[in-house]
A and B are shown apart, each in its own frame.
Chain A
Amino acid sequence: MATMLSQLTGGMVVSIEIFLLTLLFSLPLGLVVAFGRMSKNGIIKGIVKIYIAIMRGTPLMLQLIVVYFAPFYVFGIKISQSYRFVAVIIAFSINYAAYFAEIYRAGIESIPIGQYEAAKVLGYSRVQTFFKIIFPQVVKRILPPVTNETITLVKDTSLAFVIAVAEMFTIAKQIAAKQASVSALMVAGLFYFIFNYVVAFAMEALEKKLSYYR
């Protein structure tokens, strides 16, 4: 039991790493994608729409495999052992960026035009208008859907097993197979639940913090 827990904890650290790094990269990348999606340039907008369609329209598991094997099959580069984890982060980040982009877009488009006009007449530059006036209001509005995505991400980290990155679920399955018992899987389930409980708690605290205005 003790070894099982320590093994699972080791896997959980990997899951948390995937989770945090994915958020770190996909949240800003999503904003860039959202700008592309809302671009007045038809070519940029078209490319971004195709990108979003592919990311949302195909399984993340398949995307993991493609990102992992692409360097070898496309460029003939030998895949190193350490690339496994990098591939997971790349695949997760570009996948989640597509979802976050649409959430950002919905948030940005929900801000009344009067906010832009007031900022313009007061002399704010476009960059200032976005980062000082618009974006803080967007953040408040998109927190609930972002929380949804974030919770999904916690559970999606288990998909990393497909390219043999030993996150928590991979390890739980190995233990379960060896012991011919599902207890390790149940413990893993509990770990995911607690993880998500913490995430939801943190997001709710953030929502509360931003509830000082409407």
Chain B
Amino acid sequence: MDADLLSDTFVALADTMVADFDIIDFLHMLTDRSSRLLSASAAGVVLADPRGQLRMAAASSDEAGLIELFQAQNDEGPCLDCLRTGQSVTATDLAGPAQRWPRFAAAATSAGFGTVNALPMRLRDQVIGALSLFSAGNTPLGQEELRVGQALADVATIGLLQERNVRRAETLAEQLQAALNSRVVIEQAKGRIAERHALDMDQAFRLLRQHSRNTNQRLTDVARYVIDSPTADFPPQPRR
């Protein structure tokens, strides 16, 4: 593992956690860094919605494909098992025979992934979500990588709590729903931008994020503005 990249990642994550930061933007950065650091092709954070569903909060890349993979896991899959047991779950050789989660394995294989590691996001006795790492090959994460991955999953949990009063058991539930609603706001804005500029959803997201960076505004605030204001627009500059 690249030690410089490791320290740089934790410095960058800590730098982001200033007052009133955007949780979706933060989790997006965390998944992006996780995939690079742990040599995974993609990473995603999935949260346990008390309504009874897994919901994707952020992903490093190819959001559409990963959303489908997480949605497929409402029935079965490593993330669901990880949430149920609170333990990290590794699924490898997903294209092979005799799969523990046949439908998930098929979906993962067709998305080009051979291995999935799911790491629990825990707070006290509760499991609130999972950091999921996807790679093309059949090699699961090693011991050291798992430890770093778990540390990143823990940082994601801390990010969700933000600076709020963690003594209240209710805080986490409130923050989780705030994050899920922010995700919906961003999806609605992606749709509007994609339609207006004839982009795909990934390009629309990149444009949204780039604008948020360039103007130093929270991602969710930019997304709200895009939807609420009929004239809101910014020149499309998709980076392909």
Does B bind A?
no
